[in-house]
Structure 1
Amino acid sequence: MPKEMKRIKLGSQGLEVSAIGLGCMGMSFAYGPAKPEHDMIQLIHHAINSGVTHLNTSDLYGPYTNEILIGKALKGVPREKVQVATKFGLRFGDGFGEVEIHGEPEYVRASCEASLERLGVDYIDLYYAHRIDPKVPIEITMGELKKLVEEGKIKYIGLSEASPETIRRAHAVHPLSAVQLEWSLWSRDSEEDVIPLCRELGIGIVPWAPLGSGFFASGPKILDNLTNDDYRKVLPRLQGENFDHNKRVFEQVNKMAEKKGCTLAQLALAWVLHQGDDVCPIPGTTKIGNLNQNLGALSVKLTAQDMAELESMASFKGARMPEEILKISYKNANTPPLSSWKSE
């Protein structure tokens, strides 16, 4: 583990975070049952004491319980010691597995105020639209976020799983500090369009699932202990022929990790960390040992040749998410023109 955590800047508005963040979703949501509160608070405290300042959550996780957990963990922690990132805009519908997306101004404001209360903070450091509402021009959603910045309720604005067109339009209303996207050795499609645009506009990049939703940590054994309510059971890359192929890729990449004297999880995370000083991955974990291992990735050095070799090996099969979730993700995340909006 590094003696002192490196810090990086996200965007050009002044947001500074630890080089690695902590994804908190799996503590409460999506990866099986919620984990014991006491243990998760201990984990968050260990992360902060290890120099991790960037905590990532959402009102969807639980829903709501993950924000409440973080709020409890932050009691007594100096506010300036952490940067809290949360999200709004997704909520569960009436049917099983249904989600609604909301970007209306009144929804944005109500969500922000509810998150502030659950988190027990006076302001949110980084506030993301979790998904892009296809019914509301992004300029309208951003207009309300801009007001929240002016009121001091949020400091910086981000978008998650947004298309290049949406990012450009949003950034014209108020500068974005970060775009959150799936980016790892097994999810690289954003390199074609979103990542170059973020760099053109000076927007920070926050990769979620940098360890392939745990595949790079657990490998082929990942499916052995998943409960029925674990989201990863439906990931296309962990199904049938895709999984058989991806297991073979895992073994190949693992040999390189052995040569480098690190774990495969550290190698995969180091690959993301080597993408630039505008990138802050947010690997999630529920175990202190795994957190320490993730922090060890900061000490793994990769040459340009190592990076190229890794990229040539990492040819994974299968879609990165189930089709119903891909439908609301960045390739399809466009909003109507501003001229179409009729305020009530």
Structure 2
Amino acid sequence: MSVADSGTIDLGGQKVARLGFGAMRITGDGIWGPPKDHDEALRVLRRSVELGVTFIDTADSYGPYVSEDLIKEALHDGSGYGDVVIATKGGLTRSGPDVWPQLGRPEYLRQCILMSMRRLGLEQIPLWQLHRIDAKTPREDIFGEMKKFIDEGLALQVGLSQVDVEEIKAAQAAGLPIASVQNRYNLGDRSAEDVLEYCEQQGIAFIPWAPVNAGTLARPGGPLEKVAANHPGATTSQLALAWLLRRSPVMVPIPGTSSVKHLEENLGGADIQLTDEEFQALADAV
């Protein structure tokens, strides 16, 4: 099994497999503190790379800091990560489980990227993403600081998370080259369709979070179950990922898990080829 069939896209200045791994769930409950099984978290990360994953998405707020620390422990070879692109995010603070206050002041964002570089053992972050645009901070100040990250060599590329088309255009108008957008998008929630279409037009990587959440489409007797009948052994999660990969060439799903078994199941979505009729049936389903 390999994710090679998912295709490739340029991220962080190099080609990566379009089916990546999201490293949020390798932390504790509420995305807070260390994982229940430290060794299993390391195995998940290493197994993902063994299966061909070359793009891993994390954030300084996952833990906080725990996810980045685990990635370095599991995958850093002393000089870097080889062919694996590590993307991280900043712009949120943490005060407890499932609590995510936004903080976009330029000095805090600079602290975020510098500390991520230190934790990940990198002299440059291949792709640094703003976790959220903080409404309390002028976005021109935020975009200006992110531009400095590129100009100073702290980040090779930058991206945005949970934004609308107008906000992407505002960042571009401020001279900030946007390499990726990370919005919620899946079979059950396609509210970011206009953002995906804009990313396609602009050649921006679109990284859907919660990619396997199919909502009511996964109900017994529903559209996913009907398609699954044509793919013996396939899970609804695999089919949901296969649909995303076919939906757009700029799509980079990042399913996450804390279990090697679940990881292998998810990454099997790269091997599923939907027919035109199957793809359209799921696209039309509500």
TM-score normalised by L of structure 1: 0.75
Identify the residue that residue 147 of structure 1 maps to in structure 2. Answer: 148
Aligned position for 2:162: 161
Match of 1:285 in 2: 257
1:175 aligns with 2:147: no
Q: How many residues align?
A: 280
- What's 2:43 paired with? 42
Pick from 82, 85, 101 the counterpart of residue 83 of structure 1: 85
Letter of the 1:20 counterpart = L
Judging changes above 3 Å, is the alpha-carbon distance between structure 1 residues 100 and 31 closer, same or farther for their aligned structure 2 residues? Answer: closer
> Considering only aligned residues, what root-mean-square deviation do their CA atoms show, in Å?
2.4
- Please state which structure has a larger fraction of its residues in helix: 1
Q: Which range is displaced more, 167-176 or 154-163?
A: 167-176
CA contact (8 A) 1:8 1:278 kept: no
146-155 or 54-63, which deviates more: 146-155
Shift of 1:93: 5.0
Per the alignment, do residues 71 and 5 of structure 1 end up closer, same or farther by CA in structure 2, a change over 3 Å counting? farther
Which residue in the other structure is 1:110 paired with? 111
Kept after mapping to 2: 8 A contact 1:184/1:209: yes
Deviation of 1:298 (Å): 1.4
Q: Distance in 1 between matches of 2:268 and 2:144?
A: 40
Alignment-derived partner of residue 22 in structure 1: 21
Cα distance, 1:156 vs structure 2: 0.8
Q: CA deviation at 1:294?
A: 2.1
Q: Give the Å deviation of 1:42.
A: 1.6
Q: What percent of counterpart residues are identical? A: 34
Q: Does 1:268 align with 2:240?
A: yes
Structure 1 match to 2:272: 300
Counterparts of 1:46 and 1:97, CA distance in 2 = 27
Amino acid of the structure 1 residue aligned with 2:8:
I
Per-residue displacement from partner, 1:295-322 (whole Å, max 9, x unpaired)?
Answer: 2211211123212212334x3xxxxxxx
CA contact (8 A) 1:7 1:16 kept: no
1: CA distance, partners of 2:207 / 2:201: 16
The question of whether the paired residues in 2 share the 8 Å contact of 1:126 and 1:155 is answered with: yes
Change (3 A) 1:105 1:250: farther
Classify the secondary structure of the residue corresponding to 1:101.
Answer: coil
8 Å CA contact 2:31, 2:62 repeated in 1: no
SS at match of 1:128: strand
Residue type at the aligned position of 1:81: D
Residue 282 of structure 2 aligns to a residue whose secondary structure is: helix
> Are residues 21 and 247 of structure 1, via their aligned partners in 2, closer, same or farther at CA, if it must alter by over 3 Å?
closer
Structure 2 unaligned spans of 5+: none
Q: How far apart in 2 are the matches of 1:307 and 1:250?
A: 19
Q: Is the 8 A contact 2:59 2:88 kept in 1?
A: yes
8 Å CA contact 1:10–1:279 kept in 2: the answer is no
1:15: Cα distance to partner? 4.5
Query: How far has the Cα of 1:92 moved from its partner?
Result: 2.7
Once the two structures are TM-superposed, the CA of residue 68 in structure 1 deviates from its matched residue by: 1.1
TM-score normalised by L of structure 2: 0.89
1:258 aligns with 2:229: yes
Task: Give the aligned residue type for 1:307.
Answer: F
Structure 2 CA distance for partners of 1:109 and 1:276, relative to 1, 3 Å: same
Pick closer, same or farther for the CA change 1:248–1:209 going to 2, 3 Å: closer
Cα distance in structure 2, aligned partners of 1:97 and 1:81 = 32
Identify the range of structure 1 (99-108 vs 125-134) with the bigger mean alpha-carbon deviation: 99-108
SS at match of 1:301: coil
Unpaired runs of 5+ residues, structure 1, are 217-236, 238-245, 316-344
